[in-house]
């Protein structure tokens, strides 16, 4: 139904920044199978091709089957998240724009070594969302890689998978790879040569805990090799450089390997829980697509959600906007519900009482102790 209020999954807004796709030859398509829209082979299958064959057509490496699976599982179409969809985090946005977006637009101004940056903060505060916004604003193909997804599927094949992932990112360049849940990060390439940005590496490998140190070590070194080599990505037909960006984020900075921590001189940026103003913005973003009753007091909701993460607030809004529908179907049989028209179900605007109910149900997910742990870590290691 249209009561879903999440900011993700929506299409890119029409009439977004006119600069979005200029400069770096970045294309808006970002579609599976069409990538940068410059498919050199399989052109007969161009367009919105849905079949696996045409998706694979941009990949020329040794592991077409693995590539096809990665394309299915971690390649996202340009995720349609704009800067405006991310509430608050003004400084993080500015720094990311400077570090990633501007060099893609204007490579000629960004040949110099750039600062390295890593994004650290409690879960649900918008790190993934920021990475998606970068991918959207740059018009890059987005690879959303989390250790959990990959580990479960690729156990035993992880090094091949890492190699394949980077081959794929080159094939679909310009690309953004987001590595989530890192325990080791900010292993810098040091250079920002011709608009390349490596913010981080290595994710946390769940099987580390079960003692498979050798395999996790091999995966880490493969990842380091790939990240190190990522700016030797070759050129496009028109001679321009292929661009692959690696972003990384972690919710567990204290797990970062000591040796790497010393080496990682990149600037760390703390992504905090949203403050009052950001919470208001977040609520507004979440209510963009729903009808809101006049009695809804956004300031009041924001006041009462201190300590809530962006994710928690999204859940509050989502829950509140479902309440009207819940009331309508309460006490009805399945058949009666099935026979209700969509209009009948979802016409009520979301009201303050819906928020009251949602607030009673959705609690904050990040504890005060966790925040203190983050802040303490940041005071100690935050500004390298």
Q: Which of 23, 124, 266, 324 binds ligand ADP (CB under 6 A)?
A: 124
By CB under 6 A, tell whether 125 contacts ligand ADP. yes
DSSP 83: G
Query: Binding to ligand ADP by residue 282, rule CB under 6 A?
Result: yes
249's CB contacts (< 8 A; 6+ apart) are 118, 119, 120, 127, 128, 131, 178, 179, 180, 181, 182, 200
Work out whether 128 is an interface residue with ligand ADP (CB under 6 A): yes
DSSP string, 225-241: HHHHGGG---B-TTSPB
Pick from 152, 174, 177, 149: which is nearest to 163 by CA? 177
Could you write out the DSSP letters of every residue in 13-56?
PTT--TTTTSSS---S--BTTTBTS---S-GGG-SS--SHHHHH
Cβ count within 10 A of residue 275: 12
- Among 30, 33, 107, 310, the residue binding ligand ADP under the rule CB under 6 A is 310
| Binding span for ligand ADP by CB under 6 A among 122-130, 258-266, 325-333, 345-353 | 122-130
Q: Which stretch binds ligand ADP (CB under 6 A): 141-149, 216-224, 307-315, 358-366?
A: 307-315
CA 318 to chain centre: 20
Binding-site residue set for ATP:
121-128
The residues in 134-173 that bind ligand ADP, with binding defined as CB under 6 A, are none
Judged by CB under 6 A, the residue of 123, 174, 188, 272 near ligand ADP is 123
Residue list for the binding site:
121-128
* Cβ closest to ligand ADP, residue 212 vs residue 375: 375
Smallest gap from Cβ 148 to ligand ADP, in A, equals 13
- 3-class secondary-structure state, position 119: strand
Using CB under 6 A as the binding rule, whether residue 126 contacts ligand ADP is answered as yes
* Region binding ligand ADP by CB under 6 A among candidate stretches 26-34, 86-94, 254-262, 372-380: 86-94
Q: Which range touches ligand ADP (CB under 6 A), out of 12-20, 126-134, 136-144, 156-164?
A: 126-134
């Amino acid at each position: 139904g249209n009561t879903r209020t999440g900011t993700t999954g929506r299409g890119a807004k029409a009439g977004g920044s006119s600069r979005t796709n200029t400069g770096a030859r970045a294309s808006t398509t970002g579609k599976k199978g069409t990538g940068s829209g410059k498919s050199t082979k399989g052109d007969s299958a161009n367009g919105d091709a849905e079949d696996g064959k045409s998706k694979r057509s941009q990949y020329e490496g040794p592991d077409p089957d693995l590539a096809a699976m990665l394309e299915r599982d971690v390649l996202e179409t340009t995720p349609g998240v704009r800067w405006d969809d991310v509430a608050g985090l003004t400084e993080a946005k500015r720094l990311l724009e400077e570090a990633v977006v501007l060099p893609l637009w204007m490579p000629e101004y960004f040949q110099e070594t750039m600062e390295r940056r890593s994004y650290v903060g409690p879960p649900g505060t918008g790190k993934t969302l920021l990475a998606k916004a970068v991918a959207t604003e740059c018009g890059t193909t987005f690879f959303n890689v989390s250790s959990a997804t990959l580990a479960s599927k690729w156990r035993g094949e992880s090094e091949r998978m890492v190699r394949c992932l980077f081959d794929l990112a080159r094939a679909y360049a310009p690309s953004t790879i987001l590595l989530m849940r890192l325990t080791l990060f900010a292993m810098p390439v040091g250079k920002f040569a011709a608009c390349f940005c490596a913010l981080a590496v290595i994710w946390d490998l769940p099987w580390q805990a079960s003692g498979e140190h050798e395999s996790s070590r091999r995966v880490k070194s493969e990842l380091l090799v790939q990240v190190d080599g990522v700016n030797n990505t070759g050129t496009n037909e028109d001679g321009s450089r292929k661009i692959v960006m690696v972003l990384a984020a972690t919710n567990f900075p204290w797990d970062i390997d000591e040796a790497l921590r010393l080496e990682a001189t990149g600037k760390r940026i703390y992504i905090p829980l949203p403050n009052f103003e950001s919470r208001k913005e977040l609520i507004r973003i979440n209510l963009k697509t729903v009808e809101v009753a006049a009695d809804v007091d956004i300031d009041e909701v924001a006041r009462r959600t201190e300590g809530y993460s962006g994710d928690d607030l999204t859940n509050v809004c989502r829950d509140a906007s479902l309440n009207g529908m819940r009331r309508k179907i309460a006490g009805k049989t399945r058949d009666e519900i099935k026979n209700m028209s969509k209009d009948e179900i979802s016409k009520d605007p979301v009201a303050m009482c819906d928020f009251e109910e949602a607030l009673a149900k959705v609690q904050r997910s990040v504890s005060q102790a966790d925040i203190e742990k983050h802040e303490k870590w940041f005071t100690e290691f935050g500004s390298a």
